[in-house]
A and B are shown apart, each in its own frame.
Chain A
Amino acid sequence: MSLSKTVKRELYEKLVLADRIDRMIYGRMMQGKLIGFYHPGEGGIAPGVAIGHHLTKDDIYTPHHRAHGIPGMLGKNVPVERYLAEHTGKETGCCKGRSSFHWSFPEYGIYMASGYIGFQFAPTVGWGWAAKRKGKGQIVWCSAGDGGYNQGRAHEAMLMAMNWKLPVVFCCENNGMAIHATVASMHPTEHISSLAKGYGMPAVIVDGQDVFAVAEVAKKAIRHVRAGKGPIFVETKTLRFREHDIGTPDLAGHMPRSEEELADLRRRDPVLVATERVLADGVLTQTQIDTIGEQADVRVAEIEQFADESTIARPSEQELMEAVYAP
């Protein structure tokens, strides 16, 4: 099931944009122009873009927290300027500027973020259950990191989704690291997706540095669950080029990751990989690629401008009190 030229082009555009937004946010955090914290995406932005791209607006999706979910949001065509506005405490933010890093775009099937790793597993059961009850072909894509699958809740969700044959894709964006902890030290087998076996769930492993490869697998996985065949597990093998979050040293265990190791990882930069591919396959010319880069920069500037020109959210305490309970 190969991808059309148009799809490849769209994926490439979104990937470049995701990369530049990530760098822009990194820069803002360093300049103190972002509220809270930021978990840089460099190295791990391809899976989100590819997955989001194949989901319909109705499908329910929890983008993985790396790059604060932005690659997945771009995939699903979410207006991410409202997320940057949120992250800068503005009225126009997707949570009215009151959440710092949380995102919420319910109209795009993206309900929430949480500071709790593994938070998505519990509601995934409910989203899947509701989708099945409604019977309109909606599906759930539950992405989490390798660390997220350490949570007991991941297992409860896989158990129940499998028991009830819910339309859920369990996805692990495995970047080999959870803060300082290597997967090798925290998981007994090579692949996180081997967990699926115990629940009789089919599983696929894909190169997460290759946006097109992930897109093909995502497309198939989505077709599988949409057809009512029950859950499927997708593991994307991806990378983290930078520190876990800005300000935290980049360690493996208690030793710094070496320059050589990081340089080695960077050879597998998803934008690099994709650029080689589109050129080799004749999907895009170098001139077109340059234009895509320029357009991405324009879009990045628009996103920043929207956030910067929006008003700081400073509702009164009374207004906030009235927002705690639904009418």
Chain B
Amino acid sequence: MPPEKNAENTRELAFIEALKEAYIEEMERDERVFMVGQDIQGGIFPHTVGLVDRFGPERIVDTPISESGMYGTAFGSAQEGFRPIVDFMFGGFTYVTWAECSVTTGQYYFLHGSQIPLPIVITLAVGTGQRLANDHSMGLHGSFFPQPGIKVAMPSTPYDAKGLMKAAIRDNNPVVIPWHMGLMMDRGPVPEEDYIVPLGGADVKRVGTDVTVLANSLQLKNTLEVAGKLADEISMEVIDPRSFEPFDMDALLRSLEKTNRLVIVDEDWERGSFAATISARVMEQAFDLLDAPVTLVTFPNMPIPGGYMEPYIAPNPDKIETAVRAVCR
């Protein structure tokens, strides 16, 4: 069992510090763990700053701007018994080596007779909010999620950041951990002692009775804000999936038995997304539980614009409130 979040030896840490603590603890625990990426020694995001002083350039490996070679360092060394964490900086850069980091990574174990596992962690900074437009803002969890053989989890709190990252590093499969740039400096309680947040466990962040809202990452924050605002009118149950694959379907169904209504908020396009997949599954497995159509709050079908348009294209509290009200009408 994970320790209580308010245990004695719990401090407040920023999300990004919690991630870093996970790397440090796991690298100290296991010699085989190392990190590879671009400019991670100097650090583009604070989660790798200072690690090279502690672990040296053999374990904090900087590469040229050669994504295939960079990811290949992780892939090949994993087959040779290492446990790499590969940092892609901005999530969109994974597409440069998509054949390797997604397709081949997901299929390798199964298609080659389930012999050699690939214990690789892929970590990515993602999300809207910087107004940098598509290339630097894509979510990526929805692109990795449909790939068989790959696990995908996305923390929303510092506690989960550390716990999910540690679980990912210890997992014998490729695990993708995108983290939202908009949460980077959020602070929250993180225990000092060793704990993991198991992949595949959802977390009920707020108990309610009228409608279930499934939301993750920055959108979880937006959803909780709406839940607070509407508390006197609509009782929202808010669930953080935390992990997309494996996904805790039981937790969702338990909630729907009570609320009979579902809104899914996902910072991603609707087509082929996690949100659309879960919506379809609910239709198949729990049609009788529903009193209203499942409603999604996602991006419209357009590249993510920059400029002044990004904020109103991305999900936000207003859109979430509108969807919740429509479903509860």
Give A contacts to B, CB under 8 Å.
35-37, 86, 89, 93, 97-102, 114-118, 147-148, 150-152, 178-181, 185-187, 248-249, 251, 253-254, 312-315, 317, 320-321, 323-324
Q: Which residues of A contact B43 (CB under 8 A)?
A: 254
Minimum CB distance partner of A115 in chain B: B135
Query: Interface-forming stretch among B10-18, B126-134, B178-186, B278-286?
Result: B126-134
Q: CA A37 – CA B300 in complex, angstroms?
A: 25
Flag B45-62 by CB within 8 Å of A: 1 or 0 each: 000000011000000001
B65, A147: Cβ atoms under 8 Å? yes
| B81 in the interface (beta carbon within 8 A) | no
| B41 in the interface (beta carbon within 8 A) | yes
| B306 in the interface (beta carbon within 8 A) | yes
Q: CA A148 – CA B66 in complex, angstroms?
A: 9
Minimum CB distance partner of B95 in chain A: A116
Q: Which residues of A contact B41 (CB under 8 A)?
A: 180, 253-254
Contact of A148 among B65, B131, B303, B305 (CB under 8 A): B65
Minimum CB distance partner of B136 in chain A: A115
Q: CA A97 – CA B306 in complex, angstroms?
A: 8
CB distance from B97 to the nearest CB of A (A): 9
Interface of B is mostly: loop
| B92 in the interface (beta carbon within 8 A) | yes
Q: Which residues of A contact B92 (CB under 8 A)?
A: 115-116
Contact of A179 among B39, B96, B301, B305 (CB under 8 A): B39
A98, B305: Cβ atoms under 8 Å? yes
Contact of A115 among B90, B307, B313 (CB under 8 A): B90
A248, B44: Cβ atoms under 8 Å? yes
A147, B64: Cβ atoms under 8 Å? yes
B309, A314: Cβ atoms under 8 Å? yes
CB distance from A172 to the nearest CB of B (A): 13
B42, A317: Cβ atoms under 8 Å? no
Given contacts A97-B307, A114-B135, A321-B301, whether A178 and B65 have CB atoms under 8 Å apart is yes
A179, B132: Cβ atoms under 8 Å? no
| B209 in the interface (beta carbon within 8 A) | no
CB distance from B249 to the nearest CB of A (A): 32
Q: Which residues of A contact B131 (CB under 8 A)?
A: 35-36, 89, 100
A321, B307: Cβ atoms under 8 Å? no
Q: Which residues of B contact A117 (CB under 8 A)?
A: 65
CB distance from A36 to the nearest CB of B (A): 5
B42, A251: Cβ atoms under 8 Å? yes
B313, A320: Cβ atoms under 8 Å? yes
B62, A181: Cβ atoms under 8 Å? yes
Minimum CB distance partner of B90 in chain A: A115
Extra pairs beyond A97-B309, A115-B136, A180-B62 (17, CB < 8 Å): A35-B307, A36-B131, A36-B132, A89-B308, A93-B307, A97-B307, A98-B305, A115-B90, A116-B92, A178-B65, A179-B44, A180-B39, A180-B41, A180-B42, A254-B43, A317-B300, A321-B300
B306, A35: Cβ atoms under 8 Å? yes
Q: CA A102 – CA B306 in complex, angstroms?
A: 9
Q: CA A152 – CA B99 in complex, angstroms?
A: 14
B132, A115: Cβ atoms under 8 Å? yes
Q: Which residues of B contact A251 (CB under 8 A)?
A: 42
A320, B132: Cβ atoms under 8 Å? no
A321, B132: Cβ atoms under 8 Å? no
B132, A151: Cβ atoms under 8 Å? no
| B302 in the interface (beta carbon within 8 A) | yes
Q: CA A35 – CA B67 in complex, angstroms?
A: 27
Given contacts A115-B92, A115-B132, A324-B301, whether A186 and B307 have CB atoms under 8 Å apart is no
A-B contact pairs, 29 of them (CB 8 A): A35-B131, A36-B131, A36-B132, A37-B130, A86-B307, A89-B131, A89-B308, A98-B305, A99-B133, A99-B307, A100-B307, A101-B306, A115-B132, A116-B135, A118-B96, A148-B65, A151-B65, A151-B96, A179-B38, A179-B42, A179-B44, A181-B38, A187-B64, A253-B62, A254-B42, A254-B52, A314-B308, A315-B309, A321-B300
Q: CA A101 – CA B147 in complex, angstroms?
A: 32
Q: Which residues of A contact B44 (CB under 8 A)?
A: 179, 248
Q: Identify which of residues 74-130 in chain B touch chain A, using a CB-to-CB cut-off of 8 Å.
A: 90, 92-93, 96, 130
Q: Identify which of residues 291-305 in chain B touch chain A, using a CB-to-CB cut-off of 8 Å.
A: 300-303, 305
Q: Which residues of A contact B287 (CB under 8 A)?
A: none
Q: Which residues of A contact B68 (CB under 8 A)?
A: 152
Q: CA A242 – CA B76 in complex, angstroms?
A: 37
Minimum CB distance partner of B96 in chain A: A116
Q: CA A102 – CA B131 in complex, angstroms?
A: 12
CB distance from B182 to the nearest CB of A (A): 15
Q: Which residues of A contact B90 (CB under 8 A)?
A: 115
Q: CA A180 – CA B65 in complex, angstroms?
A: 11
A100, B306: Cβ atoms under 8 Å? yes
Minimum CB distance partner of A179 in chain B: B39
**Residue among B39, B41, B65, B67 with most chain A CB within 10 A:** B65
A312, B308: Cβ atoms under 8 Å? yes
B132, A150: Cβ atoms under 8 Å? no
Q: Which residues of B contact A180 (CB under 8 A)?
A: 39, 41-42, 62
B64, A313: Cβ atoms under 8 Å? no
**Residue among A150, A186, A254 with most chain B CB within 10 A:** A254
Minimum CB distance partner of B97 in chain A: A152
Flag B132-147 by CB within 8 Å of A: 1 or 0 each: 1111100000000000
A101, B300: Cβ atoms under 8 Å? no
Flag B167-180 by CB within 8 Å of A: 1 or 0 each: 00000000000000
CB distance from A37 to the nearest CB of B (A): 7
B133, A102: Cβ atoms under 8 Å? yes
Q: CA A34 – CA B5 in complex, angstroms?
A: 41
Q: Which residues of A contact B313 (CB under 8 A)?
A: 317, 320
Q: CA A27 – CA B69 in complex, angstroms?
A: 37
Q: Which residues of A contact B305 (CB under 8 A)?
A: 98-99, 320
